[in-house]
Structure 1
Amino acid sequence: MRNWPLFDLSITTPRLELRLPSLDDLDELADRAAQGIHEAGYMPFMFPWSDADPAERARSTLQYHFRAWGSLAPEKWSIDFVVVYDGQVVGTQGLMATSFAVTREVGTGSWLGQRFHGKGIGTEMRRAVLHLAFAGLGAHHATTEAFEDNHASLAVTRKLGYQEDGITVHDRQGKPAVTRRFRLAREDWQESPGYELHNLPACLSLLGLTS
Structure 2
Amino acid sequence: MLIDHFPVLGLRLRTPRLELRFPAPDELSELADLAVEGIHDPDVMPFGNPWTELPPDQLARRVIQRHWTTLSELRPDSWALNLAVFLDGAPVGVQEVEADDFAIQRQVHSESWLGRRYQGQGIGTEMRAAMLHLAFAGLGAEEAVSVGYVHNHASLRVSRKLGYAENGIGRGVSRGKLAVEQRFRLTRETWEQHRSIEVTIEGHEPCLPLLGAGKD
* TM-score scaled by length of structure 2: 0.95
In the alignment, which residue of structure 1 is the partner of 2:123? 121
Alpha-carbon distance between aligned partners in 1 of 2:176 and 2:108, rounded to the nearest angstrom: 29
Structure 1 runs (4+) greater than 4 angstroms displaced? none
**Equivalent position to 1:70, from 46, 69, 72:** 72
Alpha-carbon distance between aligned partners in 1 of 2:126 and 2:96, rounded to the nearest angstrom: 13
Residue correspondences, number: 211
* 1:99-178 equivalent positions in 2, closer than 5 A: 99-178=101-180
Note the C-alpha offset of 1:64: 0.7
Identity %: 47
Alpha-carbon distance between aligned partners in 2 of 1:157 and 1:146, rounded to the nearest angstrom: 9
**Equivalent position to 1:93, from 91, 95, 100:** 95
In the alignment, which residue of structure 1 is the partner of 2:206? 202
Amino acid at match of 2:73: S
User: What stretches of structure 2 of length at least 5 have no aligned partner?
Assistant: none
Alpha-carbon distance between aligned partners in 1 of 2:110 and 2:54, rounded to the nearest angstrom: 23
Alpha-carbon distance between aligned partners in 1 of 2:143 and 2:196, rounded to the nearest angstrom: 17
Alpha-carbon distance between aligned partners in 1 of 2:145 and 2:155, rounded to the nearest angstrom: 13
**Equivalent position to 1:192, from 168, 172, 196:** 196
Note the C-alpha offset of 1:171: 2.1
Alpha-carbon distance between aligned partners in 1 of 2:207 and 2:182, rounded to the nearest angstrom: 32
Amino acid at match of 2:152: N
Note the C-alpha offset of 1:40: 1.3
In the alignment, which residue of structure 1 is the partner of 2:47? 45
Alpha-carbon distance between aligned partners in 1 of 2:195 and 2:201, rounded to the nearest angstrom: 13
Over aligned residues, Cα RMSD in angstroms? Answer: 1.0
8 Å CA contact retained: 2:129, 2:197: no
In the alignment, which residue of structure 1 is the partner of 2:34? 32
Note the C-alpha offset of 1:120: 0.4
Alpha-carbon distance between aligned partners in 2 of 1:40 and 1:191, rounded to the nearest angstrom: 33
1:210 is paired with a residue whose SS is coil
User: What stretches of structure 1 of length at least 5 have no aligned partner?
Assistant: none
2:168 is paired with a residue whose SS is strand
150-159 vs 188-197, which deviates more? 188-197
